[in-house]
Amino acid sequence: MKVLGVDPGLTRCGVGVVLRRSHQDLEMLGVGVIQTSSELALELRLLELERQLMSWINEHNPDVIAVERVFSQLNVKTAMATAQAAGVALLIAARSGIPVAMHTPTEVKAAVTGSGRADKKQVATMVQNILKLESIPKPVDSTDALALAICHLWRGTGDARLTQAVEREKKRLKALAR
């Protein structure tokens, strides 16, 4: 399974692609940051973000896109820009027919480090170790995107299997009740 992780942002949007060969064998296929100029009009920044995200999708052909779930922050302006960038990623995924998974920062930290309260440095170090990288990708937005992909590969697929199992059991019990 190949996952494109997207750490949404209007000025810097982290992107990272991780391939799972087996549960413990993960490989980074690409990592980067999409940047847009704050001097451009909002609609042009969103258009540039769309263009570059589509380039990542066309190059890597992911099975799933994992996007960080936007949560209310103290800075409303930052939260709005993050939500707009996340919206572009969600729209592209839907248009491309690619499933989307959304994970909160706490879920990502817990999946990658074992603690939902881990700091950025701990997450970055674990991403480096998990993917067997020589150095930590910079800036942090790119590392966060890889962490999102790892989180989905380790946690998201398990959650999906549990949901499917519960649905099968409900159908089975409903059939027995007839």
What 3-state class would DSSP assign to 3? strand
Task: Single out the catalytic residue among 48, 68, 107, 144.
Answer: 68
Q: Is 141 annotated as catalytic?
A: yes
Catalytic, out of 25, 107, 119, 141: 141
Are β-strands 64-68 and 100-103 bridged in parallel, bridged antiparallel, or unpaired? parallel
In angstroms, rounded to a whole number, what is the distance separating the alpha carbons of residues 115 and 107? 9
* 7 labelled catalytic: yes
What Cα–Cα distance (Å) separates residue 161 from each residue in 94, 112, 115, 154?
21, 20, 23, 12
- Rounded distance between C-alpha atoms, residue 172 and residue 166, angstroms: 10
Q: What is the residue whose two structure tokens read 């993917």?
A: 131
Omega cis (within 30) before 8: no
Tell me, yes or no, if 59 is annotated catalytic.
no
Question: What is the number of other CB atoms lying within 10 angstroms of the CB of residue 97?
Answer: 6
Exactly one of 7, 48, 107, 144 is catalytic; which is it?
Answer: 7
Measured between alpha carbons, how far is 32 from 22 in angstroms, rounded to an integer?
24
Taking the C-alpha atoms of residue 27 and residue 111, their distance in angstroms, rounded to an integer, is 17
Positions marked active-site: 7, 68, 141
